[in-house]
Amino acid sequence: MAGSDSGRPPLDGTTLKTPSEAPPKARSAVPCLTICCHADLSRIGERAMLSGLMVRNPVEVSRLALTFQPVGGGTPRPLEDPYVSRTPLRITGDLRRGLQIDYQNDDLEIDGAPVSGAGGIDRERLKRGVLLELAGRVLMLLHMSEGDDAEPASGLLGASDGIVAVRREVDRVAELEVPVLIRGESGSGKERVAQLIHERSKRRDAEHVAVNMATIPATTAVSTLFGHARGAFTGAQQKHVGLFERADGGTLFLDEIGETPDEVQPMLLRVLETGHITPLGESRERPVDVRVIAATDADLEQDMEEGQFRRALLHRLAGYEVRVPPLRERRDDIPRLLVHFLREELETTGRPELLASAAEDEVARLPTQIVRRLMNHHLDGNVRQLRNFARHLAIASRGLHQVTLEPQLERMLDEGDSGPSSIMPPPGSTESALPPPPAVPPTRRPTEISDLDLIAALEANRWAPGRTAAALGIPTSTLHDLIRKCPSIRKAKDIDDDELRAALEASGGDTERAAADLRVSERALRMQLKERRLLPG
């Protein structure tokens, strides 16, 4: 059993994260320009590292100045778009004071705002990334990057620092016989990372079995995971092979591990510790050789403190942890993924030619404004939401010569704009400030947030912890600390059954509405409803 004692000390997270051999020295991040939209869509993702950037050594960007390198190798080329001016845009500065942009022309937009002249980008905004648009044809992201040139791994698309770091983690742990816990927001690609770990492990030729724990009723969870004998309970007319036995010799992926029923958690812990299962209705244990990979978008530490998840199980599952970053932390991957998904969807709808590279006298097939607005959208559904967006785009563009937004997508982008970076004049400059769009919420100290501020933010975000933390500019863990200390906020587990039933009845079974009425998060409410067997349907 992967992760069992097997007569030797178990490999835990501390052992793996501090190996005897020192890891390779991390590359330093430097300013970088990444092409996000271009008439030649094959060039999306190419980048120019601005490592030599200095006040006295400006970088010039124009139609023929500055070459961009394809990720994974290839011949560097300038932008070469005939609509982009030969007049150079100049970038100067340093990482201590920020960067400065000087462009004496009228076809530059910075984060969607037309500008001409000089302006500065502070260090914090550079970390998030600033969008530069030339001639309405070429969109580039000015951001910080380590510039790893490794070819993207099969099935794990992207070349951002965040996704490159995930690939390194996968390579580091794939062949080790330890359990892995994958953390990340909903839709960020955790299941694909689990598949990649299996494909690169010694178990690659055996079965990879996946199950979403949130979909297994508590009443059948034991049988589903461990199996049952014939006659084990009423209706058990034949033997059932559980998921652990099906995955024997291979990998078992337990998605949404935080939803594991209380009564199943000790059984799962015992299997991880001993490598043996006992099907329902049987008295003898049987060995299984299974590597367990789990995934969650939940705060398991918070669940552990509230008694909803066992500490020992968390420690056993987290033999090694891999964090999958959300798309907002790897914005330079959004255009790459969008074009990839668009090509797939257009193939399905019979219009693959729509994304052919535009000729010099044609309007670009993928307008820069769509890519720009998408990159400024919060995308709380991450890669899953981006794929759905691409599907809508493909369907809306049937019969047209250009990718087009439909009203539904327009509304989505209008409602979810996270606000691009702000621009400021360089220190000591007499130039007027470039028009600043809405800024991202600044980071705040917990002591600056009163109970009234906290409750107002929770109500505005329908008591969803992730969105509330982002709105307040604090980590989710800090938000949970504030909630615990606030006497005016109660937890879902403290609400009695009668009040839960009344809220469900009043909402017509809509748990989101019921959660808002009860002033708790929907996830916590659903967990309580599931545990108490009150969930409708």
Q: Do 305 and 346 fall into the same domain?
A: no
Q: Which tens digit of pLDDT belongs to each residue from 193-232?
A: 999 999 999 999 999 999 999 888 888 888 899 987 876 6
Domain identity same for 225 and 106: no
How much is the pLDDT for 392?
92
- Asked if residue 244 lies in contact with residue 278, where contact means CB atoms within 8 angstroms, the answer is no
Is residue 299 domain-shared with residue 356, that is, in the same domain?
no
Q: CB of 524 within 8 A of CB of 491?
A: yes
Highest mean pLDDT among 48-57, 268-277, 351-360, 451-460: 268-277
Question: 139: domain range?
Answer: 30-145
Which of 183 and 519 is assigned the larger pLDDT?
183
pLDDT at residue number 517:
85
Q: With pLDDT > 90 as the criterion, what percentage of the chain qualifies?
A: 43
Q: How far is CA 37 from CA 67, 75, 105, 163, in A?
A: 16, 19, 20, 20
pLDDT digits (tens, 9 = 90+) for 169-189: 999 999 999 999 999 999 999
Establish if 6 belongs to a structural domain: no
Residues 409 and 458 both lie in one domain? no
Whether residues 256 and 297 fall in one domain: yes
Q: Are residues 185 and 314 in the same domain?
A: yes
Block residue for tokens 């705040």: 444
What is the C-alpha to C-alpha distance for residues 114 and 74, in angstroms, rounded to an integer?
33
1: in domain: no
> Domain boundary residue among 283, 318, 353?
318
15 lies in some domain: no
Asked which of 91-105, 134-148, 460-474 is least confident by mean pLDDT, the reply is: 460-474
Q: Do 276 and 390 have their domain in common?
A: no
9 within a domain of the structure (yes/no): no
- Strands 208-212 vs 251-255: parallel, antiparallel or unpaired: parallel
Q: pLDDT by residue (tens digit) across 412-465?
A: 787 655 544 444 444 444 343 443 433 444 556 677 788 888 888 888 887 877
Q: Among residues 288, 318, 348, which one ends one of the domains?
A: 318
How confident is the model at residue 152, as a pLDDT? 56
Query: What are the tens digits of pLDDT across the range 370-388?
Result: 999 999 988 888 999 999 9
Q: Mean pLDDT across the chain, nearest whole number?
A: 83
Given 318, 343, 363, the domain boundary residue is: 318
Are 185 and 301 part of one and the same domain? yes
306 shares its domain with 226: yes
The answer to the question of residue 12 being in a domain is: no
Residue 507 zone, left/alpha/beta (φ > 0; ψ -120 to 50; rest): alpha
The tokens for 251 are 């990998």
SS3 assignment, position 500: helix
Please provide the size of the chain in residues. Answer: 537
Does 188 lie in the same domain as 314? yes
Is residue 374, in this structure, part of any structural domain at all? yes
The verdict on residue 153 lying in a domain is no
Sequence-distant (≥ 6) Cβ neighbours of residue 378 within 8 angstroms: 328, 416, 417, 418, 470
pLDDT of residue 357: 65
DSSP 533: T
Residues with Cβ < 8 Å from 23, sequence gap 6 or more? none
Kindly report the number of other CB atoms within 10 A of residue 340's CB atom. 16
Burial bucket for residue 483 (CB in 10 Å: 0-12, 13-18, 19+): buried
CB 281 within 8 A of CB 232: yes
Our count of domains for the chain comes to 4
Does residue 425 belong to any structural domain of this protein?
no
pLDDT of residue 21: 40
Across residues 31-51, what is the average pLDDT?
Answer: 93
246-285 residue pLDDT tens: 999 999 999 999 999 998 999 999 999 999 998 888 888 8
My answer on whether 256 and 361 are in the same domain is no
Residue 94: the pLDDT is: 77
Specify burial of residue 51 (Cβ count, 10 A radius: 0-12, 13-18, 19+). exposed
Give residue 508's pLDDT band: very low, low, confident or very high (50, 70, 90): confident
Q: What is the mean pLDDT of the segment spanning 385-405?
A: 89
97 token code pair: 């004071």
